[in-house]
Structures are given as structure tokens and as C-alpha cells.
Amino acid sequence: MSVQELLIGVDVGGTFTDCVIFEGKASWRAKAPTTSEDLGKGVLNAVGLAAQRRGLPLEELLPRVARFGLGTTAITNTLASRTGRSVGLLTTAGFEEMMLAARGAKVIDDEGWLHTPALLERNMVLPVVERIDRNGEIVSVLDEDSVREGARILVEERGAEAIVISFLWSVLNPQHEQRAAAIVQKMYPDLLVVQGADLHPVAREYERTTYAVLNAYVSGPFAGIEQLETRLKEEGMQAPLLVVHSGGGTISVPEARRLPLLLALSGPAAGVSAAAALSESADMPNLLTGDMGGTSFDVSVVRAGAAARRARGDLMGVWTALPIVDVQAIGAGGGSLAWIDDRGMLRVGPKSAGAVPGPACYGRGGTQPTVTDALVVLGYISPEHFLGGGFHLDADAALQACQTLATRLNMTAQEVAWGIRELALSGMTRAMRGRIASLGLNPTTFAILSYGGSGSLFTPDIASSLHIPRVVVPDLASVLSASGAATANVRRERLRNVLSPMPVPLESVSTSMAELEELLRSDLTADGVKADDATITFEADLRFTKQTHELSIAIPAGPFDDAARDRLLEGFLSEYTQRYGGGSVVLKTPIEVVSIRGIGVGAPVSDSGNAHSRATSSTETSIAVPDGTRAVKIDRAKDPVDVEVYDLSKLDPGQTLAGPALIDSTDTTIWVPNNWAANLRADRTLVLEASE
């Protein structure tokens, strides 16, 4: 067997670490508990289980791997828990308060004050005497002594483990930033020194500074990824480890080390990458994705076969620049904890039971009820068939956990379980409705792509509430993020600041595009992409003059001439009108180009089409025969009823079934509500459709 035949993808979630192995059109998958204290242990456990199902021991499988992709929560968890490195910031004198006047999500602390969670304490921000104006001209020369004194205080007196240097208008003239960084690095050769303009060379000093600070802040946990890479090599793997970044592509470990913040939403982005590939193969260009893991429910949009993206926004309470797949996450995963607030009302999430102790039904010491426990009590999840029967659930423990809240609420355990499911469902529906509204989408033209362990127990009901006619459940639904990690293209981005009104000068844009292309081709080569496999495209960020937000519009392929500039303008007006309505466009309002983005994409070493083969409906249809029934509570006011249950592995392509019904798979369960029907396609994609 050629070493080019095996692809491995791993997604490290909050509760489980998922693995999928591809060999041509065949695949094997496995789940293992996430080991947050040792990233590599959980990854190797999951890969080892999948290797056993392939019929090979780990030491024989790894040398045959051509591509290993990893989606990880290491950076995500550091941001969420605020446990990053101690960072010091040197900034232009007079602007020390900029980082502290923060934008982003507001929280109420223990004393009742409303504020944004800070990454820096005030005493970790010191001034440097220098000034460059908005034209890039030096107004005040750099005071090198203030750089040295500031660095000394931050490192030796205040314990900074990394130094960020971000000056005003350094994007137009980085001379002072570069000199200051050289001074600090000479003083402390082993210290991490980060420059704002080097990482994010566009206007907006706040986003540029937070981007640099966040990269320094999350640089510590990256050591776990490097240790995993070392262990994989020791086990015989010759292929490089590729890490999924927040933009939905993959990068090499050296690039991830330089920009660890890119991994902030690594796992969710991997799932969306796979969803975009499936949108084409399933002949469904418009998809709303619902990914339900152990900790969260993630929502994103695939429109015309491309994932929705954003260049900046809120990242776990901090407003920053970051090229990212536009994913909205809420705390409604299988492990989300139910609790009673001070008003005596039932709540769900955002706290999660995680992998340890996990839901009460896992039998690992958990006593608080979770969404998974509620689904067991209500009958949606079978304790005997969870994970193909390899992980028996304790139904009595789930019932007892729900009873602990029921006693306080003067309710029955089943009523509490119903409330937990309804609250989770409500939150998921609200999140998906928000994505539809914010992008001005017509839900009747979309389908929901459902994946994650328990997502398909909710997405049909979400679709009914939002008038979405179809739900698609791929064969690899439970490990789709791992599938995306295995097959996602290498993707690199670079930016150029423009800040020019339309009509933007043709020569200036053409020069910037040529420079970006040269840099991107070098980046892709460094990540192991052959020149013939590289594709370079461009986008421009446009806005009406004085607006605070831009829209990213694709620049037409070919030379940037008058026709291309006109099409760029038309594309901006069209997208703006779709999102905000025709009445929002005021004729003759000046439009400006803020920046140009180059995107370099490299095909993976093996054809990912094997993993996402085209879905086709079978020409022969028949009615599926159920394997039995299960008592399920499907109505709040009524007792549980016997619902027909089907084994997905026994269904043949072309077979259909009508709801209400449950379909059990080895690693997920699909709910088919009343007035819905399910059809199994030739590639074993399950399509659920609402009755007329």
C-alpha cells in the first residue's frame, strides 16, 4: 500500500476527541475522551481506536499516513478561561488607555460592575515617546531610552512573559516599531516580542493592537501541539502535522507557532470547511450548519458553496482583527449543565460538564443534569446503543440528576428533562435565526446541515420553527469536523492597507496584488504546497465613507482594469443591498476601499473528493422496516409514546421512512418528527424533508 493512501483528521472537542481515517472512499472513525491536561494523549487514543477498526496497530498505520490534520481547542480554552501568558504592551505615549477602553462582550463581575474582560492590567501598559502621523511622516523621533526603560520595568519588575509593541499609524510606517522590537529583543534574546504592524498591517490601531496582544497571550498553550507533533514523529509518522485555523484552512506548525491566535476557532472552522465541500457534493449550495458538540452548538452559513467569513469582530469578549469563518457559538452542547438561577428558573449552559466528570449518565461522578442526561430520560438516546453499544449509559443516574432539580422546582424528573431539552432547543433556534437575519437570508432557500454527536436530535425541530424545508445528515455527521481537518486545503492570507476612495487607482491596486501574490506563493511553498497546486485569489474590503464596518467583495480574476474595478463596485452595492435593503443605499455616497486581501489556497496531497463524494438519490425507493420501538416523550402534556426505531447501518439507499421515528447510528441518533420523512441517498447521506 502506498503511503499516499491514508488521510487522518482529528478534532479535539471539549468532551470527546474525534478521529476519522480515509483510505480512498473507505473510512473508519472513533471517539475517545478528551484529555485537556495532555492534548496528545487523547489524540493518540482516538487515532489508536480508529486504527484498530482499520485493522492496523498504530505503529504500522502512522508511517503510511500522507496527511494528518488537527483541529484543536487548546487556544480556545486559554481564551475562555483567561489563563494565557502575562503580556506587557509598549505603545505610543498618550494612547496607554486605548486597550483598556475595550470593546467587546460585557460581563457583570462579582461586585455588580459591567465591564469587558481584560487581557492586560493597567500597569502592564507603558508609553514610548514617538509619533508618526496619518500620512506616515515622523512627527516625533523614537526615544530609544523610553523603549529600554519600559521593557525593563515590564519584564524585570512586573513579570511580563511577552512584550507587544504597537504604535499609532505604524501600518503606514513601521520604522519605529521595528527599531523598538530590535531593542527589546537584544535586551532579552529569549523573550517573545510581537509587533502589531507585522502581524496585521491595516488601519485601526485598536484591532491591530488586540490582535498582537492576543497572539502573545495564547502563545503558551501551543507547546501542547508541538509535543503532539514530536510524539507522532516518534511513532513513525513522516507526513507533516497540519493544523486547522479559524479561516477554515490548514497551516503548518511553524506558521501556527508564529500566529497561534489563528487557531482560536480551529475545531468549528474544520466542520464548516467540510460543510462547504459537502454543499457542492450534495447539490445544496445554500446551507445553515448546526454543529452540536459536548460544550457548544455552533452555527454558520454556507452560501453559493462558500463559507461566510469575517475579518474582525468579537472573539470571546475581545474585539479584534482575525480572518475567521463566521461561526456563532452558544453554550448548548450535550454536556451543558442545567441549573436553577436566583429567580428560581431553570437554565441551561453555558457551563459544561466536559469530559470529566461528564454527564451524570457517563458514570464518572457527575451529579448535575446535562442536555445528554435529559435526552436519555426522555428516551431520545438509548443507553444500550450509545456509541454503538461500546459506551453504556447509566439511565438511573440521569434520572436521579434530573430529580435533584425537580425536587427544588416542585416538578417531576421528566418535566425537568423536557424543560432542559426545550431550553437548549430554544437557544439553538435563536442562534440560527440570528444568522439568517444578520445576513438577510431567505430561509426557505436553505437546508440545515446537521452534525455533531446529538445535533440531529434538534435540527429538524429547528428547521420547522424557521420554515427551513430540509435537513441533511451526512454519513460522517458525528465526526464531520475531524473529516474537515483531514481534507481542508492549506489556506494562507495576507493584507495590504489601501484607504483610498473609489475609483481606486488601478496601478496602485495592481502593484499591491502582485506583491501579495509573490508572498502567498512563498507561504504556500513553505507549507508544502507544490506550485502547480496553488491558487491565488483576491478580495477588497469596501465601505461607504465614514462607516465603521466593511464588506469583503471578491476581486474579479485577471488584470485589475477599469472593467474589474466596475465589477468590484457593483459587487459591493449588490451585497450591501441584500444585507441591509435597497433603501439603505444612498446614491452618490462616496465609497472607499479600506484594504486588499490576498488568499492563497493549496490542494491537499490527496483528492478530498473521496471523502465527500457526490450525493445522489437512488432511483429505486422502498419503505424501510423498523427494528423496534422506544418510549419517547414527544409532547409536554402527554405521556411517552412508542416511537419506531431504525438502525441506520441496516438501511439501504433509496429507503424512506416517516416520522415520528428515531434512527440510531453507531455514534449519533437522528430524530424524524411528525410530518417529516427521511430518505437515504446513495452515498448514505440522510435527507429529512418536511411534508407539504
Count Cα atoms within 13 angstroms, Cβ side, for 214: 29
Write out the E strands in 34-148: 65-71, 87-92, 107-108, 114-115, 125-128, 131-132, 138-140
Which of residues 234 and 81 earns the better pLDDT score?
Answer: 234
pLDDT at 499: 87
pLDDT at 390: 67
The mean pLDDT value for 279-283 works out to: 75
| Percent of the chain at pLDDT exceeding 90 | 54
> Measured between alpha carbons, how far is residue 488 from residues 26, 282, 284 in Å?
18, 17, 19
Indicate the pLDDT class of residue 231, thresholds 50, 70 and 90. very high
User: DSSP letters of 609-658?
Assistant: GGTTPPP---S--EE----EEEEE---TTS--EEEEEEEGGGPPTTEEEE
SS3 502: coil
pLDDT at 115: 52
Q: Evaluate if residue 172 carries a pLDDT over 50.
A: yes
Indicate the pLDDT class of residue 612, thresholds 50, 70 and 90. low
Q: Evaluate if residue 635 carries a pLDDT over 50.
A: yes
Q: Evaluate if residue 1 carries a pLDDT over 50.
A: no
Q: Evaluate if residue 169 carries a pLDDT over 90.
A: yes
pLDDT at 69: 93
The mean pLDDT value for 230-243 works out to: 91
The bridge status of strand 297-303 relative to strand 65-71 is: unpaired
- Least confident range from 144-158, 372-386, 578-592: namely 578-592
| Percent of the chain at pLDDT exceeding 70 | 93
Please name each of the domains of the chain with its CATH number.
Answer: 1-81+222-276 (3.30.420.40), 85-217 (3.40.50), 490-603 (3.30.1490)
> Measured between alpha carbons, how far is residue 238 from residues 10, 20, 66, 173, 234 in Å?
17, 18, 8, 42, 9
Distance between CA atoms of residues 571 and 590, nearest Å: 15
Q: Evaluate if residue 72 carries a pLDDT over 90.
A: no
The mean pLDDT value for 235-241 works out to: 90
**Of the candidates 687, 657, 210, 671, the residue with the CA atom closest to the CA atom of residue 475:** 687
The mean pLDDT value for 187-199 works out to: 93
What HEC string does 277-319 produce?
A: HHHHHCCCCCEEEEEECCCCEEEEEEECCEECEEEEEEECCEE
Query: What strand order describes the sheet that includes 641-647?
Result: 628-632, 641-647, 661-664, 669-672
pLDDT at 129: 96
Q: Which residues pair with 641 in a beta bridge?
A: 632
Q: Evaluate if residue 345 carries a pLDDT over 50.
A: yes
Cell 494562507, located at residue: 492
pLDDT at 90: 96
Indicate the pLDDT class of residue 610, thresholds 50, 70 and 90. very low
Distance between CA atoms of residues 288 and 580, nearest Å: 20
Q: What is the mean pLDDT of the chain?
A: 88
pLDDT digits (tens, 9 = 90+) for 466-489: 999 999 999 888 889 899 999 888
* Cβ atoms within 10 Å of 130's Cβ, excluding its own: 26
The mean pLDDT value for 2-19 works out to: 79
Q: Evaluate if residue 609 carries a pLDDT over 50.
A: no
pLDDT digits (tens, 9 = 90+) for 90-134: 999 999 888 776 555 555 544 445 455 567 888 999 999 999 998
* Phi-psi label, residue 81: left if phi above 0, alpha if psi -120 to 50, beta otherwise: alpha
Which DSSP symbol is given to 670?
Answer: E
Please count the residues of the chain: 692
pLDDT at 81: 66
pLDDT at 332: 81
Which of residues 117 and 490 earns the better pLDDT score?
Answer: 490
pLDDT at 105: 54
Cell 494565557, located at residue: 84
Q: Evaluate if residue 520 carries a pLDDT over 80.
A: yes
SS3 467: coil
pTM here?
0.80
Indicate the pLDDT class of residue 395, thresholds 50, 70 and 90. very high
Indicate the pLDDT class of residue 608, thresholds 50, 70 and 90. very low
The mean pLDDT value for 170-195 works out to: 95
pLDDT digits (tens, 9 = 90+) for 548-563: 888 999 999 999 999 9
pLDDT at 619: 53
pLDDT at 106: 54
pLDDT at 84: 84
Indicate the pLDDT class of residue 588, thresholds 50, 70 and 90. confident
Q: Evaluate if residue 247 carries a pLDDT over 90.
A: no
The mean pLDDT value for 490-514 works out to: 92
Which of residues 102 and 362 earns the better pLDDT score?
Answer: 362
pLDDT at 116: 57
